[in-house]
């Protein structure tokens, strides 16, 4: 029997890691914008990292404590766009729990920044910790471009 991870999910054996990508917002305009931006390799997205079949991890703003949270896979309230399998993590049990706890400390809710430290940046960090493939560039590229422009202006 495996150990219990932060979410209460039983963790034993290797687990698939899936990136769930959502369009930010639920409006027709945002849907249209993301459909166009997707064609040129970018968009305005929320990303959650699913580990196994029962839990999806993500990051967002909160005034106190860690901004890391979990929900049911594909359970975020934005419009679901697609899932991307990124591999199988070799981490399990305490190793997996420690990786998530470490990221909970690094991703405090008050540090959330739309351009520099958002849910997509968390997904990148979590996927690196899980030792799976990188998050596809199109998921993070718009925030990276915008951050570069804003930083250059200052």
Strand partners, 20: 48, 83
Query: Containing domain of residue 21, as a range?
Result: 3-153
- Quote the number of domains for the chain: 1
The CATH number given to whatever domain includes residue 121 is 3.90.1720.30
The pLDDT of residue 53 is 96
The pLDDT of residue 12 is 60
- pTM of whole model > 0.85? yes
Task: Give 54-87 pLDDT, tens digit per residue.
Answer: 999 999 999 999 999 999 999 999 999 999 999 9
Q: How confident is the model at residue 102 (pLDDT cuts 50, 70, 90)?
A: very high
CB–CB of 22/28 below 8 Å? no
Average pLDDT, the chain: 89
CB–CB of 14/81 below 8 Å? no
């Amino acid at each position: 029997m495996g150990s219990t991870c932060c979410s209460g999910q039983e963790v034993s054996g290797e687990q698939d890691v899936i990136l769930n990508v959502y369009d930010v917002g639920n409006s027709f305009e945002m849907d249209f914008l993301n459909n166009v931006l997707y064609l040129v390799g970018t968009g305005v997205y929320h990303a959650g990292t699913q580990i196994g079949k029962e839990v999806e991890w993500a990051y967002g703003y909160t005034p106190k404590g860690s901004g890391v949270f979990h929900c049911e896979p594909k359970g975020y309230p934005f419009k679901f766009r697609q899932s991307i399998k990124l591999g199988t993590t070799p981490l399990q049990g305490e190793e997996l729990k420690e990786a998530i706890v470490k990221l909970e400390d690094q991703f405090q809710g008050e540090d959330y920044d739309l351009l520099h430290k958002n849910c997509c940046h968390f997904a990148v960090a979590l996927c690196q910790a899980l030792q799976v493939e990188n998050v596809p560039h199109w998921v993070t590229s718009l925030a990276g471009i915008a951050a570069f422009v804003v930083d250059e202006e200052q």
